[in-house]
């Protein structure tokens, strides 16, 4: 098969993106554009288990190859991944993650053609992500080798009926049966963290001004104390999130009236689900004070919130109708 035919009529394509859920979400527009270009190609995604659970049932991917966090640290782990990759036998591998470990995944796959993000001028590292555009745009540029350009951005995050029911039941058990805000105390790096009091005071304002209770979530184990501090400071305006399955969390974020967070994987997921989001860093990455954040909340909520509390199941119907 010649090079042109391989890129024009591929049979099996491997996507390598084993980052967190936020990075996976930013890969979805590329995935949907690839599926639109090749409706019958077999697409596999090398990813973490959390990503596979969140995106299980996505119409554009055929299978997930699950990677343990430390798969490359032992010969047995490498051999296990190697067997799965050879069993799939991709013809083309797209290194979306662009790290040394993802590079070796594409090599282990045995793919005849391998593509990754191009190194930009001034980058000293061999594997680095393009800085001139967003991750989503950079991922879409990878498809130019297939003649795909100018694709519309579509995420299509899947949420099954079972996850929706589970989310509704757990929200109701937490006392949230109508509109609610989600406050994420987590962040991607330590410099972006805000203290629990910051989110707690915001929750108090949202309840007093908009009759909008808050659900406090976190990602890493070390962030649980921040969540508990926010709930204490809120004086009943916020509740700590119960444990949600990955698919249930997608349903929770999709049904939320407002999502407030620093830069985090959950924020990218909420944006993909078209939930109104507020970044606590504000424009130009300037840290917002509580008063500034509450002002931005007023602007957002005045456009989207209903004058009365709408039950969650009715809100889902309204979103579908819209």
Shared fold status for 3-146 and 162-321: yes
- Residue 12: predicted pLDDT: 97
What is the DSSP secondary-structure string of 148-206? --S----------HHHHHHHHHHHHHTT--S--EEEE---SSGGG---HHHHHHHHHHH
Fold of the domain built from segment(s) 3-146:
Rossmann fold (3.40.50)
320 pLDDT tier (thresholds 50, 70, 90): very low
- Residue 5: predicted pLDDT: 81
- Residue 211: predicted pLDDT: 92
| pLDDT above 50 for 71 | yes
Percent of the chain with pLDDT over 90: 63
What's the Cα-to-Cα distance from 179 to each of 10, 122, 133, rounded to whole Å? 46, 48, 35
| pLDDT above 60 for 3 | no
In words, the CATH class of domain 162-321 is alpha beta
| CA 85-245-217 angle, 5° bins | 120
290 pLDDT tier (thresholds 50, 70, 90): confident
C-beta neighbour count of 57 within 10 angstroms: 10
Q: CA 321, CA 313: separation in Å to the nearest integer?
A: 13
For the ranges 14-23, 114-123, 213-222, the one whose mean pLDDT is highest: 14-23
Percent of the chain with pLDDT over 70: 85
151 pLDDT tier (thresholds 50, 70, 90): confident
- Residue 303: predicted pLDDT: 82
134 pLDDT tier (thresholds 50, 70, 90): confident
Q: CA 43, CA 34: separation in Å to the nearest integer?
A: 9
The set of long-range contacts for 112-116, using a CB threshold of 8 Å and a minimum separation of 24, is: 112/6, 113/3, 113/6, 113/7, 115/142, 115/145, 116/142
Average pLDDT over residues 42-63: 96
| pLDDT above 90 for 92 | yes
Q: How many residues does the chain have?
A: 322
- Residue 315: predicted pLDDT: 47
Q: CA 267, CA 262: separation in Å to the nearest integer?
A: 8
165-179, 195-209, 287-301: the lowest-pLDDT one: 287-301
| pLDDT above 60 for 262 | yes
192-201, 229-238, 275-284: the lowest-pLDDT one: 275-284
**Could you tell me which of 213, 201, 216 has the C-alpha nearest to residue 176?**
213
Mean pLDDT, the chain, rounded, equals: 86
Q: CA 234, CA 137: separation in Å to the nearest integer?
A: 39
Look up the pTM and report it.
Answer: 0.87
Domain ranges of the chain: 3-146, 162-321
Q: Compare 96 and 3 and report the one with higher pLDDT.
A: 96
What's the Cα-to-Cα distance from 244 to each of 77, 236, 240, rounded to whole Å? 29, 21, 12
Sheet holding 63-66, edge to edge: 63-66, 42-47, 12-16, 92-95, 113-116
Q: Compare 3 and 92 and report the one with higher pLDDT.
A: 92
């Amino acid at each position: 098969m010649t090079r042109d035919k391989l890129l024009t009529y591929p049979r099996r394509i491997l996507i390598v993106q084993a980052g967190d859920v936020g990075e996976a979400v930013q890969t979805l527009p590329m995935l949907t554009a690839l599926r639109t270009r090749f409706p019958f190609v077999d697409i596999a995604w090398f990813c973490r288990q959390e990503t596979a659970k969140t995106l299980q049932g996505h119409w554009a991917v055929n299978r997930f190859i699950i990677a343990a966090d430390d798969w490359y640290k032992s010969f047995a782990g490498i051999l296990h991944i190697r067997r799965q990759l050879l069993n799939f036998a991709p013809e083309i591998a797209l290194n979306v993650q662009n790290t040394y470990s993802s590079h070796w995944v594409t090599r282990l796959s045995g793919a005849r053609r391998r593509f990754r993000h191009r190194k930009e001028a001034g980058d000293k590292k061999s594997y680095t992500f393009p800085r001139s555009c967003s991750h989503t745009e950079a991922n879409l540029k990878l498809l130019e080798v297939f003649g795909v350009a100018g694709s519309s951005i579509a995420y299509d995050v899947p949420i099954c009926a079972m996850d929706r029911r589970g989310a509704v039941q757990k929200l109701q058990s937490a006392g949230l049966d109508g509109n609610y805000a989600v406050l994420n105390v987590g962040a991607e790096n330590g410099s972006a963290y805000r203290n629990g009091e910051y989110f707690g005071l915001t929750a108090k304002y949202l309840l007093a001004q908009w009759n909008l209770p808050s659900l406090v979530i976190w990602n890493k184990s070390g962030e649980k104390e921040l969540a508990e501090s926010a709930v204490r400071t809120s004086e009943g305006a916020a509740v700590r999130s119960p444990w949600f399955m990955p698919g249930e969390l997608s349903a929770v974020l999709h049904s939320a009236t407002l999502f407030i967070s620093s830069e985090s994987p959950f924020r990218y997921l909420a944006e993909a689900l078209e939930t109104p989001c507020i970044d606590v860093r504000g424009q130009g990455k300037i840290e917002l004070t509580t008063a500034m954040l509450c002002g931005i909340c007023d602007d957002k909520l005045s456009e989207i919130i209903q004058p009365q509390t709408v039950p969650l199941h009715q809100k889902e119907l309204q979103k579908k109708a819209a």
